[in-house]
Structure 1
Amino acid sequence: MKNIILSLLCLFFATVAKSQTHKLLFKTAYGNIKVVLYDYTPAHRDLILNAIKTQVYKDALFNRIISDFVVQGGEHDIDIEKRESADPAREKPRLAAEFDPRAFHKVGALGAGRDGNAEKASFLNQIYFVVGKKIIAKELDDLEVKKKIKYTPEQRATYLKIGGQPRLDHDFTVFGEIYEGLDVILKISKVKTDSQDYPVQPVHFELSEIKN
């Protein structure tokens, strides 16, 4: 049954992948993950493409892993806070949020991490994958009231079909999704972690752009 579900999800994601311009490859010891970047979140798309060229993610780690929630990688919140606190100018560079109804927190979504800034702007060098959980209609109804938002029919249908983390919508920017290797990120999401959500054994990844 699990393999059937994964196959259906891969077919679902592949449809989106065909309509976008740029794709990424995450190489891990657990297998490869292929990601499509959304053209309708261009600033975040270009940010990570430039990060690849400048080797920002060289020797990168998935360093915060929470089962049924997210697999986060790149610069850790703690390290960002330390670096920015040590900066005499106290600068906190961020990228403005890009919210689009086509980009939401379904299973396999790629998002940008951030701190508690009021603008909901993203960190420059931190990403996460949504592992998520099963969603029922009442959760979406409650979130619409709580967050004063309205889920589109497509969002609602997708969440009810494959799950995700809708409570993150309109708070964190989603700028891509997995179209191949979802089983890999699900496997990584189950690794043993310590009390701070760090993997007990380091989970490295190499990031590159797929050139067609």
Structure 2
Amino acid sequence: MKKIILLLLCLFVVFVGKSQTHRLLFQTDYGDFKVLLYDYTPQHRDLILKSIQTKVYQDALFNRIISDFVVQGGEHDVDIEKREAADPTKQKPRLAPEFDDRAFHKVGALGAGRDVNPEKASFLNQIYFVVGKKITASELDVLELKKNIKYTAEQRSTYLKIGGQPRLDHDFTVFGEIYEGLDVILKISKVKTDSQDYPLQQVRFELSEIKD
């Protein structure tokens, strides 16, 4: 089943990737994987490209891992809360959400973390990858009613074939996807964690832009 999901995802990405202009390389102790950034979520695309130049993710960690859900990295929620609470100006910088029907929470999707702010704006230095789970048509039907949204034919087809986390759609911004090395993030998603979802052993990653 895992091999089938990887094959199907590659086929989807071949089509989507033709129109996108930026790609990233993630290097980890578990192997490398490659990500394409969506041009139709330009603010989030530009933010992570800038973060590479400013070395935001230098010596970065995947510090929240939940099997069948997400692998999250960068600045942790707890650290963000502490830093912002200590800021005398009480500023909470966020990036406005960018929702697009072409960017959704299929397996391998790259998203931006956030807190419970009503604007659904993203943290500046936190990302996650969707590991996801198998999705049924009835689950999508229920989510449409609950969230007052309508899944496109492409979204439905993709979710039913490879799975994901559709309950996050229209709540968190997706701005890219893994196009090579999905097995690496799936392997990382199985790392043992404590009761707070911290991996028992550090999972480091280095991030760079692919220039070729």
SS state at 2:5 partner: helix
Aligned residue number for residue 141 of structure 1: 141
Paired residues of 2:24 and 2:35 also in contact (CA < 8 A):
yes
| More displaced 10-residue stretch of structure 1: 14-23 or 141-150 | 14-23
Give 1:62's aligned amino acid: F
Measured after TM superposition, the shift of residue 46 of structure 1 is 0.1
Give 2:187's aligned amino acid: K
Mapped partners of 1:168, 1:93: distance in 2:
22
Deviation track 1:84-126 (CA, whole Å, cap 9, x = no partner) reads 0000000000000000000000000000000000000000000
Structure 1 segments of 4+ aligned residues over 6 angstroms from their partners: none
Paired residues of 1:40 and 1:100 also in contact (CA < 8 A):
yes
Mapped partners of 1:158, 1:2: distance in 2:
15
| More displaced 10-residue stretch of structure 1: 186-195 or 10-19 | 10-19
Gaps of 5+ in 1: none
Aligned residue number for residue 177 of structure 1: 177
Paired residues of 1:10 and 1:182 also in contact (CA < 8 A):
no
Measured after TM superposition, the shift of residue 3 of structure 1 is 2.7
Aligned residue number for residue 32 of structure 1: 32
Aligned residue number for residue 102 of structure 1: 102
RMSD across aligned C-alpha pairs, in angstroms?
0.9
Aligned residue number for residue 22 of structure 1: 22
Give 1:107's aligned amino acid: V
- Structure 2 length-normalised TM: 0.98
Mapped partners of 2:7, 2:165: distance in 1:
21
Identity over aligned residues, as a percent? 82
Give 1:31's aligned amino acid: G
| More displaced 10-residue stretch of structure 1: 65-74 or 7-16 | 7-16
SS state at 1:82 partner: helix
Mapped partners of 1:73, 1:2: distance in 2:
23
Measured after TM superposition, the shift of residue 16 of structure 1 is 1.6
Measured after TM superposition, the shift of residue 19 of structure 1 is 1.7
Paired residues of 1:107 and 1:130 also in contact (CA < 8 A):
yes
Give 2:180's aligned amino acid: E
Deviation track 1:141-194 (CA, whole Å, cap 9, x = no partner) reads 000000001101111111011100000000000000000010000000000000
- Structure 1 length-normalised TM: 0.98
Mapped partners of 1:165, 1:3: distance in 2:
19
1:54-65 to 2 correspondence within 5 Å? 54-65=54-65
Mapped partners of 1:137, 1:12: distance in 2:
19
SS state at 2:145 partner: helix
1:51-200 to 2 correspondence within 5 Å? 51-200=51-200
Deviation track 1:3-45 (CA, whole Å, cap 9, x = no partner) reads 3432332232232222200000000011111000000000000
Matched residues, number: 212
Mapped partners of 1:114, 1:2: distance in 2:
29
Gaps of 5+ in 2: none
Mapped partners of 2:71, 2:183: distance in 1:
13
| More displaced 10-residue stretch of structure 1: 4-13 or 158-167 | 4-13
Paired residues of 2:5 and 2:161 also in contact (CA < 8 A):
no
SS state at 1:62 partner: strand
SS state at 1:39 partner: coil
